Chain A
Amino acid sequence: MKEKEVKVDCEEQQVVLFAEKDDHSYGPVQTGSYITRNFLEDFQLKQQHLEDNLLKRMLAGEISPLYFYMTLEDISISELAKRAGIRKSKVKKHLDPVHFKKATVAELKLYADVFNIPIANLFQVIHTIQDGNWKSHFREASGGSAQGLVQHTTNNPVIVITTTTEKS
């Protein structure tokens, strides 16, 4: 592949590819990501559709919050079981809303830690007046401020403080 053929203008995601230079030597080229440059919107649209669909099913009581987050984060049952340290058979049960209700607080905390969310977000969907699109599956360090809400962990592992913020 020639250097000029791998060059993509994409500030958001830079990558290093190897290519043939003008002098016919082979070497690294820092460039933008082709797929992010051309198809990020398509990816985000599909993610939004997936989330909308899962939310609808969760609100209808067809799936548990665990199923919601697991599917959204693209984690398999096996992997979730390993990460949470909970038996696979039990994880399978907790995907069903009926059995999810029987999960212990300790088990729910383990799941919440895997998804990097406060345990409270396994029981609530937060909509704000300003921004109905606030994501309950935010990443603590980056998700809050731009969305009008931020959640702070506390020394109590099951308590989170949810605060409104000025949108930046």
Chain B
Amino acid sequence: MNPIAYDHKMAAHCETGTVAALLNHSGMEITEPMVFGIAGGIFFGYFKTAQFTFPTFIVRSKPGQIRKNIEKLLGVKMGSSTFKDPVKAEAELDNLLDEGIPVAVQVDFFYMDYLPAWQRVHINVHFVTIIGRNGNKYLLSDIYYPKVVEIEKDTLRKGRFAGGSMAPNGFMFYIKSIPPKPDYEKAIRKGIKKAIFNMLKIPIPFLGVKGIEMFSRKITDWPKYARDEEHLSHEIMKINVLLEDQGTGGAGFRFMFATFLRQASEILKDNDLFEMSKRMMAIGDGWREISLHAARIGKKRELGPEKLKELSDMIRSRAEAEKEFFTDLKKLV
């Protein structure tokens, strides 16, 4: 079959980028930051659980929530399914492709073999879009990769049916219809309120601003979880990867959120939001400094208590800045 005429371009994050690209393909003009902001994607969580080999953090809302919130708040109709049987999952995918519908699928990032080995880790919540098929291969648009690629059917199947936490279970989704006149103003305000709730109001000590505070306190304990100095260096340098490289748009989604606020200020004609976008960009600059500092001390193996304290102080200052920011933002919506 001929591939679907699909405008492939790179984006910052797999879920927001994929949802925005599918909406654009269906004729809805919406940017990735707008998808992120309306869906209330900004977040923070600090975790030390058996699921992970080392303490870690997240900087966005739960995977899948972006799509769900966009459906709900903008009135987009999406089709979605999970499967137990890979053969049925493939047949359903093929049917949609034959109808000319691009389909987003959830995969384990590890199996995306067009990416270099060092990038490929086991994360079950990566989203890619399938835009065609050719014999034993699918044509795939991954917003983390500069061009459309081919992937073996067997490899995609492994990715779609990997087990473990947040297993994809063959999950796929596609756009059924878009609303003629989405109510952006209402959706933007709801998205901002959700962001404020996520960052300030969740009564759990490791989520939101409290999560950033916990991160700042706990990072000085990290040496006791490490196998050796190189392991600690790796984990400290991973802070940079988690904030910058793993599809955040930079500074742990803070730059993307600033861009959303800027676009929101234009739509709502609200100068206060314009000013808040500048403040969020400055907060992001602080996160970027943390990223760079973590990479540098990790590389130099300067991982003694003093350097970790410095890192801890930098993170605490982000908690303070974000607490103030979201408290002020609350007054505007």
Query: Which A residues are within 8 Å of any B CB, using their own CB?
Result: 1, 6, 12-20, 25-28, 30, 33-36, 38-40, 42-44, 46, 49-50, 73-79, 82-85, 114, 116, 139-143
Contacts and interface: CB of A to CB of B under 8 A. Distances in A.
Nearest to B282: A1
A18 B111 contact: no
Contacts of B245: 13, 15, 33-36
B299 A75 contact: no
Nearest to A20: B281
A17 B12 contact: yes
B277 A26 contact: yes
Contacts, number: 139
Contacts of A40: 118
A17 B250 contact: yes
Nearest to B122: A75
Interface stretch (B74-82, B182-190, B255-263, B325-333): B255-263
Contact of B119 (A13, A30, A78, A114): A13
B258 A26 contact: yes
B32 interface: yes
Most buried by A among B117, B162, B237, B284: B117
A137 to B, nearest CB: 10
A77 B262 contact: no
A79 B152 contact: no
Interface of B: 10-12, 17, 32-33, 50-53, 110-111, 113, 116-122, 143-146, 152, 155, 158, 162-165, 167, 230-231, 233-234, 237, 240-241, 244-245, 247, 249-251, 255-256, 258-259, 262-263, 277, 281, 284-285, 288, 291-292, 295, 298-299
Contact of B255 (A17, A76, A116): A17
Contact of B51 (A19, A28, A78): A78
8 contacts: A14-B145, A25-B262, A39-B298, A74-B53, A76-B50, A82-B163, A83-B162, A142-B113
Contact of B117 (A26, A82, A139): A139
Contacts of B251: 1
A114 to B, nearest CB: 7
A71 to B, nearest CB: 8
A141 B152 contact: yes
A50 B230 CA distance: 9
A83 B240 contact: no
Nearest to A137: B117
Nearest to B12: A16
Nearest to B243: A35
Contact of A30 (B10, B162, B167, B284): B10
A85 B164 CA distance: 8
A72 B163 CA distance: 18
A39 B299 contact: yes
Contacts of A44: 118
A35 B118 contact: no
A116 B259 CA distance: 40
Given A83-B164, A84-B163, A114-B163, 7 more contacts: A26-B262, A27-B259, A38-B295, A39-B298, A42-B298, A79-B51, A82-B167
A116 B144 CA distance: 22
A34 B281 contact: no
Contacts of A36: 118, 245
A38 B291 CA distance: 13
B258 A75 contact: no
Given A28-B12, A76-B50, A35 B116 contact: no
Contacts of A79: 51-52, 122, 164-165
A18 B299 contact: no
